[in-house]
Homo-oligomer: A and B are copies of this chain.
């Protein structure tokens, strides 16, 4: 892109797929990103805005005037538009609603009535419906007259006169069954239908488990109000995975590689502040044993090893349990078995590494008592690590806190405090 002329760059850029343009925009620092965004043609603009991550999108939207934004939204599906409108200033959402025809406005309002992360918020309203008393032949003629079907149409929806959902007519059946049969003979009444208030995460699990392409969304009275397609579900799955990794590192929703320095600093400061508190708690525990350390300085040298091993072992258990909790696989019936298993692993690994570390400590400091003490502290800390690895996420969940968010901090605080306390405490009792 560098070195070429502007028209050349524009042509090369717009020859790419919108998803590739989005990737490219995300990889540029803010100033260059703006220049590049100027080159994206209007017909690609809407699709590119949908493909970049939320944070980059807000930045691009700030650069656009009302006319450009209206043009970008004009080709969007209702579900994408509903999602997109969350990021727009209030004044503009009014302008967009006014620019739509009656039917589309009603459809958009139907989607906006549900939370963004529910089935209703994910759905599109572009359903093709048929009545059960038609023959397949008539349905085919109807489709030909219609001239097109929405993307990702793997079945048509069969509804009663009052829009009550009766079942689905699979396109594959439409193609392979006798054209004279009525829809009622071919329709699948067992097909999955999704309640509009079902959380997006559960919708994703259902699509994944049952290999769905699309599924009808029903309101609380069983009427068809839209459909969810697999492409949106793939985005939900990817976003969720991404968010959990960013969250664990305390990055919050910082997805933009080139977010402004000052806003990144503030966002990350929160996590650093929480960590400072827990680190000071650990420091306080060490402070309780100042006298002991003064007499045996080797303790100060070795104490971080005990704390750090506990943190690693605890994180292993925590990760496994947090994941199982998210999958709904931990319940009162198996908590006990899980705890026994993790404590067993903690003790076994504790004994093994305690022996090795004790050997190293004895060789290093020539003091058998220090070896014995560090070994005992190690076994204690890895036992506690197993206990907290199971207990902390369960407790957080009961308190209504996301274990993926807070689990790591709470756990390492416990293993730091217990690690320092056990090691320095035993040393105070037996060495001084």
Contacts and interface: CB of A to CB of B under 8 A. Distances in A.
Interface of A: 17, 19-20, 23, 26-29, 51, 140, 143-144, 146-149, 151-154, 171-172, 174-179, 207-211, 213, 230-231, 233-235, 237-238, 240-242, 244-246, 248-251, 254, 257-258, 261-262, 264-265, 268-269, 271-273, 275-276, 279-280, 282-283, 286-287, 290, 293-294, 297-298, 300-305, 307-309, 312-313, 315-316, 318-321, 323-324, 327-331, 334, 337-338, 341, 344-345, 348-349, 352-353, 356-357, 360, 364, 416
A300 B313 contact: no
22 contacts: A17-B209, A26-B329, A27-B328, A28-B334, A29-B341, A148-B172, A151-B211, A241-B242, A244-B245, A245-B248, A245-B319, A257-B330, A268-B345, A269-B349, A269-B352, A272-B309, A272-B353, A276-B309, A282-B304, A286-B304, A287-B364, A290-B297
Contacts of A297: 290, 293-294, 300
A316 B250 contact: yes
B174 A149 contact: no
- Pairs of residues from A and B, 8 with the lowest C-beta to C-beta distance, nearest first: A241-B241, A19-B209, A211-B231, A27-B329, A249-B319, A300-B300, A279-B305, A29-B337
When all copies of this chain in the complex are counted, the total is 2
Contact of A175 (B149, B231, B257, B328): B149
Contacts of A319: 245-246, 248-249, 251
Contacts of A283: 301-302, 304-305
**Main SS class of interface, A:** helix
A257 B162 CA distance: 48
B245 A234 contact: no
Nearest to A286: B301
B265 A348 contact: yes
B230 A208 contact: no
A178 to B, nearest CB: 8
B175 A144 contact: yes
A209 B352 contact: no
Contact of A209 (B20, B153, B248, B258): B20
Contacts of A303: 300
Nearest to A295: B294
A303 B297 CA distance: 14
B154 A152 contact: yes
A102 B383 CA distance: 57
B175 A171 contact: yes
A246 B275 CA distance: 23
B257 A338 contact: yes
A249 B315 CA distance: 6
A75 to B, nearest CB: 15
A192 B298 CA distance: 65
A258 B304 contact: no
B175 A174 contact: yes
Contacts of A330: 27, 257
Contacts of A146: 176
